[in-house]
Amino acid sequence: MTSVSAIGIHDLSFATSEFVLPHTALADHNGTEIGKYHLGIGQQSMSITAADEDIVTLGAAAAAPIIARHGTDQIRTVVFATESSIDQAKSAGVYVHSLLGLPSAARVVELKQACYGATAALQFAIGLVHRDPTQRVLVIASDVSKYELDSPGEATQGAAAVAMLVAADPALVRIEEPSGVFTADVMDFWRPNYRDAALVDGQESITAYLQAVEGSWKDYTEQGGRALDEFAAFCYHQPFTKMAYKAHTHLLNTCGYDTDKDAIARAIGQTTAYNAVVGNSYTAAVYLGLAALLDQADDLTDQAVAFLSYGSGSVAEFFAGTVVPGYREHLRTEANSEAIARRRPVDYAGYRELHEQTFPTDGGDHPTPEQTTGPFRLAGIRAHKRVYQVR
């Protein structure tokens, strides 16, 4: 077996939905001062899925550019992380495996732990590559964040998928040891099987998140991790972008540092650009933050980046990555900007109609209207089976 010294993120690509709802439209409907959204939670707009779009089509669209660049030969594992699963038994990743034409000699599995799942997928992928450095693992984080209309969480909705190719000698970010981990049994956010929309206790969720930041950082330091001032930037899970600011302020306070606003903005400001216009993408959010940071920062070569991944319920992990020399040659900055710019605005009435769209559960033939323009679409339901198309 070949020894390997560095494993991490070799490529990263993301996709988001066909439609977008500006928060100005939501504010007009609610009679809300727009500052509550733009400043209070730090959100500008939110991605809205079309009727023929779901976590599978988003995940496949995110992963397709990676397959186009690197091929399929070395990919023997696909790990699909989501908390908006479409089936209680079959992995959404199996559909993506088929849509992308991946070889049959592969394992595919779906992981779930609220918004933390993609970090579990990343760490499991690193373990597989350690065992066999000739293999690569495709990690996909794909979610559609959905809350009830006129609920407090409505303004934080969103949809996106991030795909990462995990490999030895990565071209983007080397993931370091150790990790700091934390778990606590709390009911801050959950979605029972009988509900399409999640339930959330907003204040409890913020409290639980901050507790998890403190707990995972404590474990990270006890495991011999880096000092706080060694990090050039911090990628936090972003249920809304203002939460990243709250989390970093709490971490600085915990460590006895001054909470200088300019320093906080330098540490996390560039990580929030995509999340601010996409909304909450659950498992994908922290890695959408990484994409924004890599695309915007002047030069992060050999700089350490911190990651804080949080999933309600709750599980958190704090870990570090080092940006690899030459990483800029492998970025997808233009494609990432296009993924956001191509979304078509909807008004509030159009958003409401999309939000309330559901499939009957009678097992009949229920085609979807063709609303998307991307490479993959959900064509409908037939005999209780989801049917997908490749354009």
Q: What is the pLDDT of residue 19?
A: 98
Find the domain containing 226 and state its range. 175-326
Count CB-CB contacts under 10 A for residue 182.
20
Q: Are residues 207 and 245 in the same domain?
A: yes
Q: Are residues 30 and 157 in the same domain?
A: yes
Q: What percent of the chain has pLDDT over 90?
A: 95
Residue 1, in any domain of the structure = no
Q: What is the pLDDT of residues 187-209, one digit of tens each?
A: 999 999 999 888 888 889 999 99
Q: What is the pLDDT of residues 151-161, one digit of tens each?
A: 989 999 999 99
Indicate which residue of 53, 83, 110, 214 is catalytic. 83
Amino acid at 265: A
Bridge pairing between strands 136-145 and 344-345: unpaired
Q: What percent of the chain has pLDDT over 70?
A: 99
Q: Are residues 180 and 314 in the same domain?
A: yes
Residue 2, in any domain of the structure = no
- 235 has catalytic annotation: no
**Which SS3 state, helix, strand or coil, does residue 114 take?**
coil
Looking up residue 212, the CATH number of its domain turns out to be 3.40.47.10
> Residue 313: which of 388, 149, 201 has the closest Cα?
201
Reply yes or no on whether the pLDDT at 1 is more than 90: no
Place of tokens 């993959």: 376
Q: Are residues 48 and 114 in the same domain?
A: yes
Domain total of the chain: 2
Tokens of 371: 């609303």
CA 180 – CA 182 distance, rounded (Å):
7
Reply yes or no on whether the pLDDT at 325 is more than 50: yes
How far apart, in Å, are the Cα atoms of 103 and each of 69, 72, 135?
16, 7, 13
Q: Are residues 246 and 351 in the same domain?
A: no
45 neighbors 27 (Cβ within 8 angstroms): no
Indicate which residue of 10, 18, 97, 115 is catalytic. 115
Residue 232, in any domain of the structure = yes
Reply yes or no on whether the pLDDT at 3 is more than 90: no
pLDDT band at 15 (very low <50, low <70, confident <90, very high): very high
Q: What is the pLDDT of residue 202?
A: 82
CA 344 – CA 288 distance, rounded (Å):
20
Q: Are residues 262 and 343 in the same domain?
A: no
Q: What is the pLDDT of residue 4?
A: 65
Q: Are residues 180 and 169 in the same domain?
A: no
- 237 has catalytic annotation: yes
- 355 has catalytic annotation: no
Q: What is the pLDDT of residue 109?
A: 98
Q: What is the pLDDT of residues 355-364, one digit of tens each?
A: 999 999 999 9
Amino acid at 389: Q
Q: What is the pLDDT of residues 271-314, one digit of tens each?
A: 999 999 999 999 999 999 999 999 999 999 999 999 999 999 99
Reply yes or no on whether the pLDDT at 45 is more than 70: yes
Name, in order, each residue with C-beta under 8 angstroms of 112's C-beta and a sequence gap of 6 or more: 81, 82, 83, 85
DSSP class per residue in 330-389 = G--HHHHHHHHHTPEE--HHHHHHHHH----SS---EEPP----SSEEEEEEETTEEEEE
Indicate which residue of 23, 237, 248, 355 is catalytic. 237
Strand partners of residue 308: 236, 318
